[in-house]
Structure 1
Amino acid sequence: MLEKRNLEGETLLLVDGSSYLYRSYYAMPNLRGPDGSPTGALFGLINMMKRLRRDISAKYSACVFDAKGKTFREDWYPDYKANRLPIPEDLSQQIEKIHVAVRALGWPLLMIEHVEADDVIGTLAVRAAQAGMHVVVSTGDKDLTQLVNERVTLINTMTNQWLDRNGVIAKFGVTPERIVDYLALIGDTADNVPGVDKCGPNTALKLLAQYQSLDGIIKHANDIKGTIGNNLRRVLTFLPTARRLVTIHTACDLSSHMQSIAMSLQTRIEDKDELRDVYSRCGFKKWLRDLDSESGHVRCVTNCETQCAPDIERQYETVNAWEQFEQWLAMIEVAPLTSFSTKTTSLDPMCAHIVGISFSTVPGRAAYIPLAHCGPDHPVQLSRTEVLKRLKPWLENSAHKKVGQHLKYDAQVLANYAITLTGIEHDILLESYVLESHCSHDISTLAMRHLSEQILKYEDVTGKGTAQISFDKVEVGIATRYSAEDIDITLRLHRVLYFKIQVEKGLDYVYRSIELPTSRVLQIIERNGVLIDKNRLIRQSNELGIRLLELQAEAYALACGEFNLNSPKQIGKIFFQQLQFPVIRKTPSGMPSTDEDVLQKLAENYQLPRVLLDYRALTKLKSTYTDKLSKMIKPDTGRVHTQYAQAVAVTGRLTSNSPNLQNIPVRTPEGRRIREAFIAPLGSRIVSADYSQIELRIMAHISADSALIEAFRHGEDVHCATASELFGVTKQDITSNQRRIAKVINFGLIYGMSAFGLASNLGISRDTAKLYINRYFFRHPGVAQYIDETRVKAKSCGFVQTVFGRRLWLPEISGGNSLRRQAAERAAINAPMQGTAADLIKMSMIAVQNWIERERVNSRLIMQVHDELVLEVPDNELELIRTKVPELMCSVATFNVPLIAKLGVGVNWEEAH
């Protein structure tokens, strides 16, 4: 719910329709109407408009959109908004429907040719304020903060944030009168208005604090030292233009429109017939039901629609007495499902302390138990030790079913208190991920998307940036509202999300049989951690430091002088002015690019780019791993405990952070040496188990290509088999180069590689590459058929599936941007392989961990990286693990081809390869 404010006198409510158009599009999932047309942006914008009408009382209102065509700013600066991509096709299809819906909701709609929506809003706001009215502007655009004064206020409905004068100062650090100067300095990338290079918000604030205004900064430009001073002086002549571009014009000539505007601003009633037509065509069943209810009509509703019903009365309580606690304990002990969450001091679960616990058993009712708040209100709180002692039997009883969001985190936190959380029945993070892996899964977004509810965010109660406080400093009353709402919404979201999963057999299997048990195994792996040889890392870091100095000296010699190896500007000057290297590509500002792709291309013919590439790679290796890994070791375990994220990669693969184990480079000797520091304790070994050629085997299975299937069934070298077919020679006569070409083709085609891509990869002509591809498809018609059918299905459904039913969404597959559409088509071909491989390794983790627990062996899983499981194995269990782990990995699924898992053993991770 929006915070309601009482505004005395008449109020004009202006909605920045163009701002919310895009925000609704990107915030909502890939919703489709009964006819398959996109409806997500329409749904989001209607929801926002309905909520505004309900929560802000205004006699006059209007929703303002940008009109088609150029505006006066492009007359001043031809490159204004020149970097903007074309409007996404899915959004373009919804715009006319949005205009119809906005009018039907009773909102006057304004579009003025040659004038941007911001300027229309600014002009109307100023005139209304001058007439003594209050003005509320609903927007997410920071540019409009320059309008704020004692009569003009901004509201961002997506963050529930009101901005008056003090709010603008708190958010941006400057008054509304200085917003224009602030924006001119930092620039506006969205509108392609360049500012001062390297001048970010903090630097801009410092300059404005010292010189009061942009004019003052320009006047004292020669007094400003360092890089910022140099960059400022380079754009002095453009800064007035930048200021003019970011200034909202509040005196636009709207004279030819004023009569219609004056008549239209009077807020009107809804056109229910028009709305019914929109809702019917778009499949908005709940809103249709609401209309019918208002008209006295009776409709039959499904179970899901009943569960999604809004406007549930809320009853949230702070539990600070033992009598209350016992009442809630009695409730959760008999509840069929309890929504549960901890509130803590840290995002790192291994070192987090519990601040409070919240419960909900029925929608609308929830409790928060504060346990360690130390804020200014000095609250009365129950003993954390005693509460956890009394809750432990319930937390550890698998018969007491729990639902939460990201319960792996809560399980890890409770483990700090020697409590093993069981009974995890559902997790809305995983439910949302299984339903829509490509969307955001934070609870506030989910609440808006699935419940049409605006809820408090963490930053709303703790603040942001340097002013942010830890949760234990939050006042208990505020903490209760936030925590109880959070857990209440979790329960309500579960009812909606799981209903959608249950009706899809494949999704239900992925959720219940893969994702939920994987979460439990990941918590165990994170807790186990991996032992690190700190001294070895220190030695490697020192050696890398020496090598970097050598590379720096080599670069200086090749450039005939010293320069900053990390400065694109200095590198560009040396490359293209001093050494006259060919320009491969230019940046959006027109300068020759020196990004990594350009360096790779130049390195084919020049030594200096090769040196810079080596320097960058080793610098990253040193800063990211050899310097940092030793600092991540937990003192009490001597181990590094990474955090795995399930709900990030759209393919179903896991990601890890602190440290990121997935990105440790393995193609260079220096990168591989990092893995030497991942060691086994005395009397144990590191065992690495991974699938062999797993994506090619999956391709053979899902394409049912007879040649691929036969090659794998007979244990042949599949690349030699392909080379033999491509070049018409016996397997004994295949050259190493022919096998290399076949390998590139085998892997390239499952990644959707085109003839152009294959030609670039192999250094051959496009005609030759096309010949190879045609010959391959002639020999592998099953693969060709799979690729063709997958493209058609992906465009029709908007997603592809893994063997086990996971949906891999492709939002750009029908988009208007040809490059993105082609990338989505390539992804559609490979995603089922990547996704199925991700499913298989998760299923293997589950099988191996279940076997470890069942047989009570001492070996333990310590890492999962790509298609690889890493175990720490006592010497006396090595032979058992050598036999059992490959057997488990290869038996989790039955394919048309055999699955092969290979094991490596060593005293460290690298040696195990």
Structure 2
Amino acid sequence: MTLTHKPVGPDSRVFLVDGSSFVFRAYFQSIRQDAKYNYRTDRLPTGAVRLFCAKLFQFIREGAADLTPTHLAIIFDKSENSFRKEIYPDYKAHRQDPPDDLIPQFPLMRAAVRAFGLLPIEQDVYEADDLIATYAKEARARGADVLIVSADKDLMQLIDDKVSMYDPASGAREERRIGVAEVVDYFGVPPEKVVDVQALAGDSTDNVPGAKGIGVKTAAQLINEYGDLDTLLARAGEIKQPKRRETLTDPASVALIRTSERLVKLVDDAPLEIPLDDLGLHQPDGKTLVAFLQAMEFTQLTRRAAETYGVEANEIEPDPAFVGPAGWRARNGEVAETPALPAPEAAAPAGPTGEKGALSPAALAEARREQGVATKIDRSLYETVTTIERLDAWIAEAFAIGVVAMDTETTSLDPMSCDLVGVSLATAPGRACYIPLQHVAPTGADLLGGDPPPVQIPFAEALARLKPLLEARGVLKIAHNMKYDLLVLACCGIDVAPIEDTMLISYVLDAGRNNHGLDELSKKHLGHECIPFSAVAGSGRTFIGFARVPLDRATEYAAEDSDVALRLWRALRPRLAAEHMTSVYETLERPMVSVLAKMERRGIAIDRNILSRLSGEFAQDMARLEAEIHELAGESFNLGSPKQLGDILFGKMGLPGAKKTATGAWSTSASVLDELAESGNTFAARILDWRQLSKLKSTYTDALPTFVNPTTHRVHTSYALAATTTGRLSSSDPNLQNIPVRNEAGRKIRTAFVAERGNVLISADYSQIELRLLAHIADIPQLRQAFADGIDIHAMTASEMFGVPVQGMPSEVRRRAKAINFGIIYGISAFGLANQLSIPREEAAAYIKRYFERFPGIRDYMDKTRKAVRENGLVTTIFGRKCHFPRIGSSNASERAFFERAAINAPIQGAAADIIRRAMARMDEALAHERLSARMLLQVHDELVFEAPKEEAEATIRIVKRVMEEAPHPAVALSVPLEVEARAAQNWDEAH
């Protein structure tokens, strides 16, 4: 039967098949059957396609639930990019990835629908359920009977006297028609109130939050008692049960309920691309159907189709479009016409399964790890791709499988200035290639007949072929440290998406346990030692650069990286689900790859004249300090020499606090000098002043101009994602996060960061975010109330501790309270506080003791955190990030105390890092939605820096503040408000 225009009326029977749900049902049913029926002879997984085709054949010929269709729609989810993600970014965030052997079957399902003469229906923005709701509403309005083929409870809100559901899992002959009575039995309310119940109860499968502590049963009771959700929320203060009353009257909870309501309510007026009347059925083309079924090697279905539609199967050749890897995909309904590669053995291996079905995530993770170790890497199998034909074949294979690992090889580590030398791809463990693009002769070519450059595909032609693959939304790209590859390829005009990053998966799972470099992870998880870069490109005087590496060695090195990345992804990805870390990875880590890549590409402008002038000023100040230091020492010496300085301090002057380093020299570290300076030693204080100016001069005023990109004329820092235990970002080349902001010299350096003509810089900074998070996490009523009332938190603390009225409070008293507030977060000791405030240690100890007496919740939090980290070796942020401290059980008391202090701070600092990440991930879209052209340039701890046209400054600040202050929502409802201070100016210092 073929879809045709056939008006829907009262005599029509419209079948709406939830194709996306059906695909997974078919897959999990197939893996419970004999495995030999689940693969084609070339090992292409086809079990789910076989059962899908069988059920589709049944619907067309026999119908279901005593109905035969006059109209039929097979409706799929087109992508994860539903409009619901805009409402609630964490929507469906906990969904596990599809099994490996289901992924290549997705395009074949759509090809099967076409083979039956139907059209797979799918639309951007809307989910399959929304399209089903829209078709159902229109068909019902015309008097037709509607049968929704699905077991999805979300669709029960559509049921009435003309619309029913049929669960295909109940069996081909057994009727299981779901009507109004069945909905009442399931939800406890009729269909028209299902949305109200779901808004309250939420849905863990789709990560719909709902109301805390209210399940379906309780929700149904409340809705039946009050009539509907609006009435319930309006009268929630009347509820007798305290917990329910508190939940349903709390503004943050009500906001989540209303968000959940918008998520679960189906859209029934979506703009349909295929009209309802065009879903009419007629006889399909028997030859086309048989050719497809033969290509899939479905013997019984082929015979049934041939008999049903009167064709001779043995006279029809299998559809060549679906034979071999090139036929494994149907993209936008069109079969790839690219050269096929011989299918490698186990090129698309099935995920391990047990007798009762798919393994649990934990078991799958362990099975993948064991498989990765057992399957040895053979570099001799890698291919060097030097012809368009072979490149096309590899691209076709990647499209067919739907997953490809990749890596770029370049001339330097600076993605903004390097040249792309080559690209490697891996489509399966052990199956990888390297595509050289700009290699030169190892010995160089010259006029006397030196070696010619190796044969390669022309650079522009190769990139033109790779671009559709690397940008294809239907092919997942995997890499290790993907941000670098994104930057390199963006400079070549390629926008890589969608992505997975094995470095970040490892970081989410094991932050604090180990480093996350590819070589280290390969040893740890695969038992394989990768080729060191120096082994192929040399080092020091023998360094030749990757462009001069012979192609055979370059292929071994480059293809291995992609092969290892793919194996690591297969081994580590299941652990995210097993260890409940999928949401952290998908909402806090993976989005940052593209966000930071864009920021790094944008860079920031600097004024070289200001830096030059500052270098001169710093040099003069250093010379003055050097003369003063020499006078105090009574002799001249090299201030940059720790040995000479140590001899002056502890040899000649005989100052206290002398310590020896491992080499036997006097220690002149900053901590040693700080102690001396705090005790009133002028000599040590001047040394510290000189060192600070020397560092600022060498690190910033002298060095920053050397980082200006000759093409963009801007400075492009590099952000490290997997560098800290708590999730805080760090930057390098140059490091823009350590410019002092609390001293005059540091602020002068910030004046050199400027906006381009016609623009301004906007600095947006969270105000006291860590103290606010402490108030929330440790549940400190006084702090919570003070932040809610907008009271000066340091003055309030001073008043609580010292009994001093807030009005007319001496600045010294407030300063001491501020030092204690911030010091407590970092586990400050009496000694440290005494040094900071220049008071006796006993007085500092008394301050800390009084602080804990006034705020006992902080002490409880610290004790509870110490206990948790000792027992579990980790702490967790309010967003689920795990911070591991494997050395918490150290036998060294001082080391153990250090890690305990770090563990106490980690949930607070980590939550602050998570919040600004959430803001950054949403920022570009929020600005674009308001048609603002502001660009996010820098992240410095709790601060974001933007560049915007002057005329858009006010509007930009408004949006930036909103996004930053609402960043925790809806995942976490903080008990204290976040506050962001934002200003616009011509330079960074004035904007801060």
Q: Is 2:371 aligned against 1:305?
A: no
Instruction: Give, in whole Å, the separation in 1 of the partners of 2:364 and 2:642.
Output: 59
Question: Aligned-pair distance for 1:468?
Answer: 2.0
Question: Which residue in the other structure is 2:544 paired with?
Answer: 469
Question: Which residue in the other structure is 2:635 paired with?
Answer: 561
Mean Cα deviation higher: 897-906 or 728-737: 728-737
Question: Which residue in the other structure is 2:25 paired with?
Answer: none
Question: Which residue in the other structure is 2:504 paired with?
Answer: 430
Q: Tell me: CA distance 1:589–1:343, structure 2 relative to 1, closer, same or farther (3 Å).
A: closer
Give the unaligned 5+ runs of structure 1: 1-298
Question: Which residue in the other structure is 1:671 paired with?
Answer: 746
Instruction: Give, in whole Å, the separation in 2 of the partners of 1:574 and 1:823.
Output: 32
Instruction: Give, in whole Å, the separation in 2 of the partners of 1:588 and 1:333.
Output: 58
Mean Cα deviation higher: 866-875 or 543-552: 543-552
Instruction: Give, in whole Å, the separation in 2 of the partners of 1:680 and 1:535.
Output: 15
Render the CA deviation track for 1:376-414: whole Å, top value 9, x for unaligned: 374221111100011112222323211111111111111
Q: Tell me: CA distance 1:611–1:778, structure 2 relative to 1, closer, same or farther (3 Å).
A: closer
Q: Tell me: CA distance 1:638–1:747, structure 2 relative to 1, closer, same or farther (3 Å).
A: same
Of 419, 425, 448, the match for 1:359: 425
Question: Which residue in the other structure is 1:843 paired with?
Answer: 918
Question: Which residue in the other structure is 2:987 paired with?
Answer: 908
Question: Aligned-pair distance for 1:685?
Answer: 0.7
Residues 847 and 889 in structure 1, CA contact (< 8 A), matched pair in contact too: no
Instruction: Give, in whole Å, the separation in 1 of the partners of 2:529 and 2:732.
Output: 30
Instruction: Give, in whole Å, the separation in 2 of the partners of 1:371 and 1:887.
Output: 46
Using structure 2 for the length normalisation, give the TM-score. 0.60
Of 309, 322, 333, the match for 2:399: 333
Question: Which residue in the other structure is 1:751 paired with?
Answer: 826
Question: Which residue in the other structure is 1:448 paired with?
Answer: 523
Instruction: Give, in whole Å, the separation in 1 of the partners of 2:825 and 2:656.
Output: 34
Question: Aligned-pair distance for 1:772?
Answer: 2.7
What are the residue-to-residue correspondences of 1:654-733 with 2, within 5 Å? 654-732=729-807
What are the residue-to-residue correspondences of 1:371-390 with 2, within 5 Å? 371-376=437-442, 378-390=453-465
Of 783, 806, 809, the match for 2:881: 806
Instruction: Give, in whole Å, the separation in 2 of the partners of 1:490 and 1:575.
Output: 53
Instruction: Give, in whole Å, the separation in 2 of the partners of 1:590 and 1:401.
Output: 56
Instruction: Give, in whole Å, the separation in 2 of the partners of 1:818 and 1:628.
Output: 41
Question: Aligned-pair distance for 1:375?
Answer: 3.4
Instruction: Give, in whole Å, the separation in 1 of the partners of 2:667 and 2:966.
Output: 50
Instruction: Give, in whole Å, the separation in 2 of the partners of 1:563 and 1:760.
Output: 29
Question: Which residue in the other structure is 1:349 paired with?
Answer: 415
Q: Tell me: CA distance 1:785–1:904, structure 2 relative to 1, closer, same or farther (3 Å).
A: same
Residues 312 and 363 in structure 1, CA contact (< 8 A), matched pair in contact too: no
Of 381, 385, 392, the match for 1:319: 385
Residues 820 and 848 in structure 2, CA contact (< 8 A), matched pair in contact too: yes
Question: Aligned-pair distance for 1:579?
Answer: 3.8
Render the CA deviation track for 1:278-309: whole Å, top value 9, x for unaligned: xxxxxxxxxxxxxxxxxxxxx99932233231
Question: Aligned-pair distance for 1:550?
Answer: 2.0
Instruction: Give, in whole Å, the separation in 1 of the partners of 2:599 and 2:974.
Output: 28
Instruction: Give, in whole Å, the separation in 1 of the partners of 2:612 and 2:845.
Output: 50
Instruction: Give, in whole Å, the separation in 1 of the partners of 2:528 and 2:744.
Output: 53
Question: Aligned-pair distance for 1:373?
Answer: 1.5
Q: Tell me: CA distance 1:539–1:318, structure 2 relative to 1, closer, same or farther (3 Å).
A: same
Question: Aligned-pair distance for 1:768?
Answer: 3.4
Instruction: Give, in whole Å, the separation in 2 of the partners of 1:757 and 1:573.
Output: 27
Question: Which residue in the other structure is 1:573 paired with?
Answer: 647
Using structure 1 for the length normalisation, give the TM-score. 0.65
Question: Aligned-pair distance for 1:681?
Answer: 1.0
Q: Which letter maps to 2:695?
A: K
Q: Report % sequence identity.
A: 45
Q: Secondary structure at the match of 1:808?
A: strand
Question: Aligned-pair distance for 1:752?
Answer: 1.6
Residues 707 and 779 in structure 1, CA contact (< 8 A), matched pair in contact too: no
Residues 511 and 724 in structure 2, CA contact (< 8 A), matched pair in contact too: yes
Question: Aligned-pair distance for 1:765?
Answer: 4.0
Q: Tell me: CA distance 1:480–1:742, structure 2 relative to 1, closer, same or farther (3 Å).
A: same
Question: Aligned-pair distance for 1:512?
Answer: 0.5
Of 395, 398, 406, the match for 2:473: 398
Instruction: Give, in whole Å, the separation in 2 of the partners of 1:873 and 1:754.
Output: 44
Question: Which residue in the other structure is 1:257 paired with?
Answer: none
Q: Tell me: CA distance 1:704–1:681, structure 2 relative to 1, closer, same or farther (3 Å).
A: same
What are the residue-to-residue correspondences of 1:169-568 with 2, within 5 Å? 302-308=363-369, 309=371, 310-312=374-376, 314=378, 315-376=381-442, 378-424=453-499, 426-438=500-512, 439-505=514-580, 507-568=581-642
Question: Aligned-pair distance for 1:713?
Answer: 0.9
Instruction: Give, in whole Å, the separation in 2 of the partners of 1:509 and 1:644.
Output: 22
Instruction: Give, in whole Å, the separation in 2 of the partners of 1:591 and 1:471.
Output: 42
Instruction: Give, in whole Å, the separation in 1 of the partners of 2:665 and 2:503.
Output: 44
Instruction: Give, in whole Å, the separation in 1 of the partners of 2:637 and 2:802.
Output: 50
Question: Aligned-pair distance for 1:648?
Answer: 0.7
Q: Tell me: CA distance 1:763–1:537, structure 2 relative to 1, closer, same or farther (3 Å).
A: closer
Instruction: Give, in whole Å, the separation in 1 of the partners of 2:656 and 2:478.
Output: 60
Q: Which letter maps to 1:311?
A: T
Question: Which residue in the other structure is 2:46 paired with?
Answer: none
Render the CA deviation track for 1:782-806: whole Å, top value 9, x for unaligned: 2221111100000111111111011
Q: Secondary structure at the match of 2:574?
A: helix
Instruction: Give, in whole Å, the separation in 1 of the partners of 2:814 and 2:477.
Output: 54
Mean Cα deviation higher: 415-424 or 618-627: 415-424
Mean Cα deviation higher: 554-563 or 448-457: 554-563
Between structure 1 and structure 2, the one with the greater Rg is 2
Give the unaligned 5+ runs of structure 2: 1-358, 443-450
Question: Which residue in the other structure is 1:896 paired with?
Answer: 975
Instruction: Give, in whole Å, the separation in 2 of the partners of 1:636 and 1:650.
Output: 36
Question: Aligned-pair distance for 1:731?
Answer: 2.2
Q: Is 2:886 aligned against 1:822?
A: no
Q: Tell me: CA distance 1:591–1:628, structure 2 relative to 1, closer, same or farther (3 Å).
A: closer
Render the CA deviation track for 1:471-529: whole Å, top value 9, x for unaligned: 11111111111111111110110111111112233x21111011111111100100110
Superposition RMSD on alpha carbons, in Å?
2.0
Q: Secondary structure at the match of 1:549?
A: helix
Q: Which letter maps to 1:531?
A: A
Question: Aligned-pair distance for 1:583?
Answer: 4.8
Instruction: Give, in whole Å, the separation in 1 of the partners of 2:611 and 2:552.
Output: 48
What are the residue-to-residue correspondences of 1:751-790 with 2, within 5 Å? 751-790=826-865
Residues 382 and 556 in structure 2, CA contact (< 8 A), matched pair in contact too: yes
Instruction: Give, in whole Å, the separation in 2 of the partners of 1:741 and 1:542.
Output: 36
Q: Secondary structure at the match of 2:609?
A: helix
Instruction: Give, in whole Å, the separation in 2 of the partners of 1:576 and 1:325.
Output: 69
What are the residue-to-residue correspondences of 1:565-604 with 2, within 5 Å? 565-588=639-662, 591-603=665-677, 604=679
Instruction: Give, in whole Å, the separation in 2 of the partners of 1:878 and 1:531.
Output: 18
Q: Secondary structure at the match of 2:777?
A: helix
Q: Secondary structure at the match of 2:737?
A: helix
Q: Which letter maps to 2:991?
A: A
Render the CA deviation track for 1:98-149: whole Å, top value 9, x for unaligned: xxxxxxxxxxxxxxxxxxxxxxxxxxxxxxxxxxxxxxxxxxxxxxxxxxxx
